[in-house]
Amino acid sequence: MSASLINKNVNDWLNDHGDYLYRFALARLRDPHQAEDAVQETMLAAIKSDNFEGDSSARTWLTGILKHKIIDLQRKQIREQPLSDLIDLDASDTSLDDFFDKSGHWLDKPQTLDMPENALEQKQFLSILSGCMDKLPAKLAAIFMMRDVHEVDNENICKELDITATNAWVMLYRARMGLRKCLEMNWIVG
Amino acid sequence: MKLMLTCKQASQLISQSLDEPLSWSDRMKLKFHLFICNACTRFNQQLRLIKNAVLRIKSETENNASVQLSLEAKAKINQAIKSNQ
C-alpha cells in the first residue's frame, strides 16, 4: 500500500477505531491519561509503519500495535520504581509472612467469597474489586494487570521486565494476596 | 520440600498454578493439602474468583460504548498526527 493511501486513512482510523482502541487500552491500564497516550502512540506508529497488510482489517492491525504500546507503558510503570524495591521481592521477603505464623499456618483463615447472584450485587462486587486493584502499590498493580488482565504469559513478562521467574511469581502472589485481603475487608460476605 | 505442605507453601503453589503448570509432585502435594485443608481450599476459590472477576471488569470496559475518547484527547491526538505526517 502506498504511503499516500496510508496517510489518507489515518484520520478515518481515529474516527472509526479511536474509541474502540481507547476502551481496549483503558481496560488494561485503568488510567485514562495512559490509555489516551497509548492510543496516540499507536496512531503515530501506524503512520510510520509500512507493513499494513490490506488483507487484515485496520482495526485488527491497530490493535496489534496497541498491545505492544500497552506493554511498553506497563514496563515503564514497573521500571520507574526504585531498583531496591525489586530486589526486596526475592522469596525471602519477610512481608510474605504477614499472612502466616512461623509454622506456615494462616493467621486469618480465608473466608468464603462468591460471585453474588443478583446483578446489582455483582456490580457492587466488581466495583469493590476495581477499587482494590487501584489500591495496590503501582508496581504490583502493573504486573498483575499485565498477567491477569492483558494475559501476557509468565515467560514474556520476565522477558519484558527483565526479571526472573521467581521475581515474577512473588510479585503476582503479593498482588493477589493484597486483592483477596482487600476484598475480604470491603465485601460484606452474605 | 517435605511431603506435607504448609498453608503458606500451598498458597504459593496455588498462585503459581494460575501462571504455569506445576510439576507432577507439586500438583500431588497440593491436591492432598487441599483435600484436608478448608482454608486453602477457600483461598484457591478466592484466587479463581478474582481471576474471573478481573476479566469481567476488563470486558465490561471494552464493551461499554459510553466510554469514549474525550474531545480534547481526540483533538490532541489529531494534532500529533498532523505534525507527524
Helices A119-135 & A165-186 angle (0-180, nearest 10):
130
Could you tell me which CATH class the domain A3-79 is placed in? mainly alpha
pLDDT digits (tens, 9 = 90+) for B11-51: 999 999 999 999 999 999 999 999 999 999 999 999 999 99
- For residue A81, the model assigns a pLDDT of 67
Nearest CA in chain A to B72: A36
Cell of A7: 496517510
Instruction: Give the C-alpha separation, B62 to B59, whole Å.
Output: 5
Per-residue pLDDT in tens (0 to 9) along chain A, 190 residues: 444 455 557 778 898 999 999 999 999 999 999 999 999 999 999 888 877 766 678 899 999 999 999 999 989 888 876 654 544 544 444 455 589 999 999 999 999 998 899 999 999 999 999 999 999 988 899 999 999 999 999 999 999 988 999 999 999 999 999 999 999 999 876 5
Find the length of chain B.
85
- Range(s) of chain A covered by CATH 1.10.10.10: 83-186
Residue A153: CA atoms inside 13 Å, Cβ hemisphere, count?
3
**Hey, of B2, B45, B54, which one would you mutate to test binding to chain A, going by the most A CBs within 10 A of its CB?**
B54
- 10 Å CB burial of residue A57 (0-12, 13-18, 19+) is exposed
Nearest CA to CA, how far is B23 from chain A (Å)? 15
- pLDDT beyond 70 at B82: yes
Asked if A7 and B85 come within 8 Å (Cβ–Cβ), the reply is yes
Instruction: Give the C-alpha separation, A10 to A61, whole Å.
Output: 13
CB pairs under 8 A between A and B: 141
Q: In B, which residues are within 8 Å of A24 by CB distance?
A: 62
For residues B50, B45, B11 and A133, what is the CA-based torsion angle, rounded to 10 degrees? 10
Going A161 to A165 to A168 to A170, the CA torsion angle's sign is: negative
Q: In B, which residues are within 8 Å of A97 by CB distance?
A: 8
Question: What does pTM read for this prediction?
Answer: 0.86
- For residue A2, the model assigns a pLDDT of 46
Domain ranges of chain B: 7-84
Asked if A180 and B68 come within 8 Å (Cβ–Cβ), the reply is no
Q: Which phi and psi (to 5°) does residue B21 adopt?
A: -65, 135
Instruction: Give the C-alpha separation, A132 to A53, whole Å.
Output: 41
Cell of A135: 489500591
Q: In A, which residues are within 8 Å of B6 by CB distance?
A: 100, 103-105
Q: Can you name the CATH fold of A83-186?
A: Arc Repressor Mutant, subunit A (1.10.10)
Nearest CA to CA, how far is A17 from chain B (Å)? 10
- Range(s) of chain A covered by CATH 1.10.1740.10: 3-79
Report ipTM for this prediction.
0.91
SS3 A132: helix
Residue A5: CA atoms inside 13 Å, Cβ hemisphere, count?
8
Nearest CA to CA, how far is A158 from chain B (Å)? 12
Nearest CA in chain B to A123: B57
Instruction: Give the C-alpha separation, A108 to A100, whole Å.
Output: 8
